[in-house]
């Protein structure tokens, strides 16, 4: 469908084209090359960690992260159900199992009290999600992990640049993942990165992403034998992709600033139009990126249809994983997650991106106001 206002648009400029063209014109450094190292350095510096390792997707990054930390058969990893399904699937990739805890209503992240109730002797890690650019209760979750001697991994796929009390998301866990998939704040089309302060985990992930090969030199630029010292996968990010990531990093703060201004304008416009919905109201201790702009409505499905009829794309993020066919009918999961199911029945994500005009945001607000008055 040709949406009048799509859910997202990628923000790009000539620098994106120039950076990629430079790699293409090199005539050889398409698979591996210096842009990969440059992007990793840029991300680590930005987040404030010692190391960063790029991979070909956020899912590969989550997979490699669990492998690097030794999560395996018989282990349990506590995750939310209000997330993209990869968060829950990745423990299965390594022979472990996801265990669903409920979420809280303020940030849509794991509820610390529910997490405590889920901890058993099999629990090896907690993997919370920072939803839509808004940090979860990560400080409380860090305390729980420390108290019980278990690992904490951050699924920060949507939240590069988010903060809690001026501390960057991605610096609370033993390691953390960010995604560069299409609709994220910055994107390389597909891609992901792990950040960590552990040299051991950093080295393990580098082996895992490249067939277990000790890449002490660029494989495609040397005739020396580079030995294979462990089992690994082909999780590498290409030099072309990394070049796009470098160019996008140049714009990250600018993109975040515009998103925050647009979100503020849209919230005011919805209220002015009389929209009977709950709009985002970020707390003062959190720096919200608005990778997603999520409202809540008691008539969510009808509102989504009304917006769609007006050419405005809106979507549920996220349908609960535990209610999917695979988890409910194949894996026979049936956890009690009342807050997850309640919020998932009310949440609706509206278009949010830097190129949104005031006229487009006024139109969204107008349609929400009209719908509310009809109800």
Domain spans in the chain, listed from the N-terminal domain onward: 14-249, 252-374
> Look-up: residue for tokens 């990745």?
90
> Look-up: residue for tokens 């940030």?
107
Cα–Cα distance between 310 and 272 in angstroms, integer? 19
Cα–Cα distance between 21 and 29 in angstroms, integer? 12
Cα–Cα distance between 155 and 300 in angstroms, integer? 27
Q: Is 98 left (phi over 0), alpha (psi -120 to 50) or beta?
A: beta
Degrees (nearest 5) of the Cα angle 44, 48, 52? 25
Cα–Cα distance between 58 and 47 in angstroms, integer? 17
**DSSP, res 161:** T
Degrees (nearest 5) of the Cα angle 243, 9, 39? 20
- What is the pLDDT, as a whole number, of residue 217? 75
CB atoms within 10 A of CB 240: 23
Close Cβ partners of 203 (under 8 Å, ≥ 6 residues apart): none
**DSSP, res 336:** -
Helix or strand or coil: residue 281? coil
Asked whether the beta carbons of 352 and 8 are under 8 A apart, the reply is: yes
Helix or strand or coil: residue 223? coil
Class level of CATH domain 252-374: alpha beta
Cα–Cα distance between 348 and 308 in angstroms, integer? 12
Q: What topology does CATH give the domain 14-249?
A: 3.40.640
Cα–Cα distance between 146 and 131 in angstroms, integer? 23
- What is the pLDDT, as a whole number, of residue 219? 77
Cα–Cα distance between 197 and 104 in angstroms, integer? 29
Give the residues across from 78 on adjacent strands.
99, 126
Close Cβ partners of 311 (under 8 Å, ≥ 6 residues apart): 3, 4, 5
Residues of the chain below pLDDT 70: 375
CB atoms within 10 A of CB 28: 11
């Amino acid at each position: 469908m040709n949406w009048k206002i799509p859910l997202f648009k990628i923000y790009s400029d000539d620098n994106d084209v120039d950076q990629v063209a430079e790699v293409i014109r090199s005539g050889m450094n398409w698979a591996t090359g210096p842009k990969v190292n440059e992007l990793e350095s840029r991300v680590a510096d930005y987040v404030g960690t010692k190391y960063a390792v790029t991979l070909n997707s956020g899912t590969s990054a989550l997979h490699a992260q669990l492998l690097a930390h030794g999560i395996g058969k018989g282990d349990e990893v506590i995750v939310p159900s209000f997330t993209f399904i990869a968060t829950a699937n990745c423990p299965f990739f390594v022979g472990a199992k996801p265990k669903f805890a409920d979420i809280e209503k303020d940030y849509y992240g794991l509820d610390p009290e529910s997490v405590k109730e889920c901890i058993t002797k099999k629990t090896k890690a907690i993997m919370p999600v920072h939803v839509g650019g808004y940090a979860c209760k990560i400080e409380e979750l860090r305390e729980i992990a420390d108290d019980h001697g278990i690992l904490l991994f951050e699924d920060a796929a949507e939240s590069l640049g988010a903060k809690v009390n001026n501390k960057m998301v991605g610096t609370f866990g033993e390691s953390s993942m960010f995604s560069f998939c299409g609709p994220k704040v910055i994107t390389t089309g597909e891609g992901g990165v792990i950040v960590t302060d552990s040299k051991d985990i950093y080295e393990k992930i580098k082996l895992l992403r490249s067939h277990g090969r000790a890449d002490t030199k660029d494989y495609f630029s040397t005739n020396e034998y580079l030995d294979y010292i462990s089992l690994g996968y082909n999780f590498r990010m290409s030099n072309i992709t990394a070049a796009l990531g470098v160019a996008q990093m140049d714009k990250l703060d600018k993109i975040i600033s515009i998103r925050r201004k647009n979100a503020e304008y849209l919230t005011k416009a919805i209220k002015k139009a009389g929209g009977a919905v709950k709009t985002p109201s970020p707390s003062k201790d959190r720096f919200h990126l608005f990778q997603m702009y999520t409202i809540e409505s008691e008539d969510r499905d009808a509102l989504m249809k009304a917006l769609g009829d007006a050419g405005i794309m809106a979507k549920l993020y996220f349908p609960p994983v535990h209610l999917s066919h695979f988890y409910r009918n194949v894996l026979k999961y049936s956890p009690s997650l009342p807050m997850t199911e309640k919020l998932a029945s009310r949440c609706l994500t509206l278009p949010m991106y830097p190129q949104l005009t005031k006229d487009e945001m006024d139109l969204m607000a107008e349609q929400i106001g009209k719908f509310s008055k009809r109800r």
